[in-house]
C-alpha cells in the first residue's frame, strides 16, 4: 500500500505524522511524496486559526480531484472540534478524532505495529532518514494536552488535559534516533513546560533534558515552543551543555498587560522581560522567537501600540504573527468588542513589518561569522551544484550551494548576506558562489 502523509500546523503534528510513517514502514508499506500514486492519504489537521482549518478543507478537495481513487483520512485538532463540518468536504473519506489518533494506522493496517522494541527500530529509522518524509531532525513528542485555559485557544479543547510520556521511553527513543544517524532531536508538546506535572513532578522538563544529555548520544538537542511560565529558576543553566541549542520559542501573544489578562495568559510584561533577560544571560547567541496575536477582542489602538513597543524592546529574532480568529468553544469567541477585519489586517501588517525588521537585524549580526549548519533539503540547483537549506545551531535558516551529499551533515558555513527570512552562506573550504538574486 502506498501512503501520502501531510501535516498542517505545529511541530507536534509533524511528530505524530512521522510516527505514523514509521509504523507504516515497519508494516511493509510505502510512504510516497506523489499524491497521484497514493492509495491512502492522511492529513493531520490544525484548528489554531480559521486559516489553518480552511487549509485543511482546500487541500482535501484538491487532493481528491487529483486522485479520486485514494481514501483521504483526516485527523488532528480540526477533525476533533468540527468532525461533521470536515466530513462534508468533497473527498473526505474518514474522520479520526485525536483520542483515536494513536490507533489510526492500526485502523487502516491491522498488521502495523503500535510500537517496536528499540533494537528493531534502527533499520526503520535509517530508511526514514533517507527521505521518507523530508526532515533530518527527529521530532519527539514528549507530552500532549494542556491544563491552561487561555481564552483564545482551541487546542486544549481538541487535545484535552496534559499527559506526559515516561522519561525512560523518551530517552530510549532519542538514543535509537542517534544510533540511526540523526544529528538533532526536537522536543515537542502542546505545553512542553508542563512535562511531568501530571506525574507529580514540577521540574519534569529540566530532569528530562538532563537525562537526554546524559544518557543519549544525540549531537544536537532543541526545544520547541515553551510557554513563559513553569520554568524553574535554574533551568537556563542547562545550556552550559553545548549540545542544547541556543534557540527558544516562547509565545508571548500580546505585549499589553490588559490583553494578556483578557487572554488568561499566566505572564505579564514584567515577568516576560525578566525571563528573557535570564535566558540571554545564560545562553550566548540566543535566538528568541515568539507568537503574537493581533486584533484580540477589545484590543485598542493603545494596547496594540504597547505590543509593538514591547516586541521591539525584547528584540525578538522572529515573530509568528496571527490575526485573531474566533475559535468554536473558546471564551474569547463570545467576548464583546470583536475587532473589525480591516483593523486586524492593518495591525497585522504593521506587526509583520516589525518582525521582518527585527529578524533582519538579528541575522545581520552573524554576517561574516562561521556557524555550524545541519543541512536538510535542496531547493534548486545551478552549474556550481545544488542549493541546500539548513539551520544553524541558533536556528538561522541558511541557503548555500554544495555537493549532492550534504543531507544530514553538520558543516561550518560562513554567512555572507542577511535577509529577513534567514541568510545566504558559503561552505567553509568550498569555492561555490552564491547568487544573491536567487
- What secondary structure does DSSP assign to 62-112, as a single string? HHHHH-TTSEEEEEEHHHHH-HHHHHTSTTEEEEE-GGGGGGHHHHH-TTS
Sign of CA dihedral 18, 21, 22, 23: positive
* Separation CA 408–CA 396 (nearest Å): 16
The residues of the chain that CATH labels 3.40.50.2300 are: 2-108
Residue 145, φ and ψ in degrees, nearest 5: 75, 175
Whether the CB-CB separation of 407 and 425 falls below 8 Å is answered with no
What 3-state class would DSSP assign to 400? strand
Pick the CATH number of 2-108 from 3.40.50.2300, 3.30.110.40, 3.20.20.100, 3.40.50.1950: 3.40.50.2300
Q: What value, to the nearest 5°, has the Cα angle with vertex 391 and ends 119 and 138?
A: 20
Residues linked to residue 388 through DSSP beta bridges, in sequence order: 378, 400
Q: 236: which 3 cell numbers?
A: 537556563
d(CA 119, CA 63): 37
What are the respective helix, strand and coil percentages of the chain, to the nearest 5? 40, 25, 35
120-166 per-position pLDDT tens digit: 555 556 555 544 455 689 999 999 999 999 999 999 899 999 999 99
Report, as ranges of residue numbers, the positions in the chain whose pLDDT lies below 50: 130-132, 431-438
| Greatest Cα pair distance in the chain | 61
**Tell me, what's the pLDDT at 45?**
97
Element containing residue 26 per DSSP (H, E)? helix 11-26
Cα–Cα distance measured from residue 382 to residue 157, given in angstroms and rounded to the nearest whole number = 48
- Residues carrying CATH 2.40.50, the chain: 370-427
Burial, 102: exposed, middle or buried (Cβ in 10 Å; 0-12, 13-18, 19+)?
middle
Give the 3-state secondary structure of residue 307.
Answer: helix
User: What integer pLDDT is reported at residue 313 of this predicted model?
Assistant: 98
Predicted local confidence at residue 125, as pLDDT = 63
- CA atoms of 319 and 289, how far apart (whole Å): 6
Element of type H or E holding 43? strand 40-45
CATH for 370-427 is 2.40.50
Nearest to 319 by CA among 364, 346, 351: 351
Q: What single string gives the DSSP state of each residue in 195-260?
A: TTGGGT-TTHHHHHHHHHHHH---SEEEE-B--SSS--TTGGGGGGSTTB-SEEE---B-S-HHHH
Burial 363-380 (b: 16+ CB within 10 A, else e): beebeeeebbbbbbeeee
Nearest to 169 by CA among 132, 202, 143, 147: 143
**In 250-402, at which residue ranges do the beta strands (DSSP E only) sit?**
287-294, 318-323, 370-382, 385-392, 397-402
Amino acid at each position: 500500500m502506498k501512503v501520502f502523509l501531510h501535516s498542517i500546523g505545529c511541530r507536534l503534528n509533524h511528530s505524530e505524522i512521522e510516527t505514523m510513517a514509521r509504523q507504516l514502514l515497519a508494516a511493509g508499506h510505502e510512504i510516497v511524496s506523489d499524491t497521484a500514486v497514493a492509495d491512502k492519504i492522511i492529513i493531520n489537521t490544525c484548528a489554531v486559526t480559521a486559516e489553518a482549518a480552511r487549509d485543511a478543507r482546500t487541500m482535501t478537495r484538491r487532493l481528491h480531484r487529483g486522485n479520486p481513487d485514494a481514501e483521504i483520512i483526516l485527523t488532528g485538532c480540526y477533525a476533533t472540534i468540527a468532525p461533521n463540518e470536515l466530513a462534508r468536504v468533497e473527498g473526505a473519506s474518514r474522520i479520526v478524532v485525536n483520542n483515536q489518533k494513536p490507533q489510526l494506522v492500526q485502523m487502516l493496517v491491522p498488521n502495523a505495529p503500535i510500537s517496536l522494541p528499540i533494537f528493531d527500530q534502527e533499520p526503520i529509522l535509517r530508511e526514514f532518514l533517507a527521505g521518507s518524509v523530508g526532515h533530518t531532525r527527529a521530532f519527539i513528542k514528549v507530552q500532549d494536552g494542556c491544563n491552561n485555559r487561555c481564552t483564545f485557544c482551541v487546542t486544549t479543547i481538541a487535545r484535552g488535559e496534559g499527559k506526559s510520556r515516561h522519561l525512560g521511553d523518551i530517552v530510549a527513543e532519542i538514543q535509537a534516533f542517534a544510533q540511526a544517524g540523526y544529528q538533532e532531536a526536537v522536543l515537542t508538546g502542546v505545553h512542553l513546560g508542563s512535562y511531568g506535572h501530571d506525574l507529580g513532578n514540577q521540574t519534569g522538563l529540566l530532569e528530562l533534558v538532563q537525562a537526554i544529555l546524559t544518557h543519549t548520544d544525540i549531537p544536537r538537542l532543541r526545544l520547541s515552543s515553551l510557554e513563559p511560565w513553569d520554568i524553574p529558576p535554574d533551568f537556563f543553566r542547562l545550556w552550559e551543555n553545548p549540545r542544547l541549542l541556543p534557540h527558544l520559542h516562547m509565545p508571548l501573544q500580546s505585549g499589553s498587560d490588559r490583553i494578556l489578562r483578557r487572554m488568561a495568559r499566566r505572564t505579564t510584561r514584567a515577568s516576560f522581560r525578566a525571563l528573557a533577560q535570564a535566558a540571554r544571560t545564560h545562553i550566548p547567541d540566543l535566538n528568541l522567537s515568539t507568537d503574537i496575536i493581533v486584533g484580540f477582542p477589545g484590543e485598542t489602538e493603545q494596547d496594540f501600540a504597547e505590543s509593538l513597543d514591547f516586541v521591539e524592546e525584547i528584540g525578538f529574532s522572529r515573530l509568528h504573527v496571527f490575526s485573531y480568529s474566533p475559535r468554536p468553544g473558546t471564551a474569547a469567541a463570545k467576548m464583546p468588542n470583536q475587532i473589525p477585519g480591516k483593523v486586524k489586517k492593518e495591525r497585522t501588517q504593521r506587526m509583520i513589518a516589525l518582525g521582518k525588521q527585527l529578524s533582519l537585524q538579528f541575522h545581520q549580526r552573524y554576517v561574516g561569522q562561521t556557524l555550524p549548519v545541519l543541512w536538510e533539503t535542496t531547493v534548486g540547483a545551478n552549474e556550481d551544484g545544488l542549493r541546500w537549506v539548513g539551520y544553524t545551531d541558533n536556528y538561522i535558516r541558511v541557503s548555500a550551494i554544495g555537493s549532492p551529499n550534504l543531507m544530514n551533515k553538520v558543516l561550518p558555513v560562513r554567512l555572507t548576506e542577511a535577509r529577513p527570512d534567514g541568510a545566504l552562506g558559503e561552505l567553509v573550504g568550498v569555492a561555490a558562489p552564491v547568487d544573491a538574486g536567487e
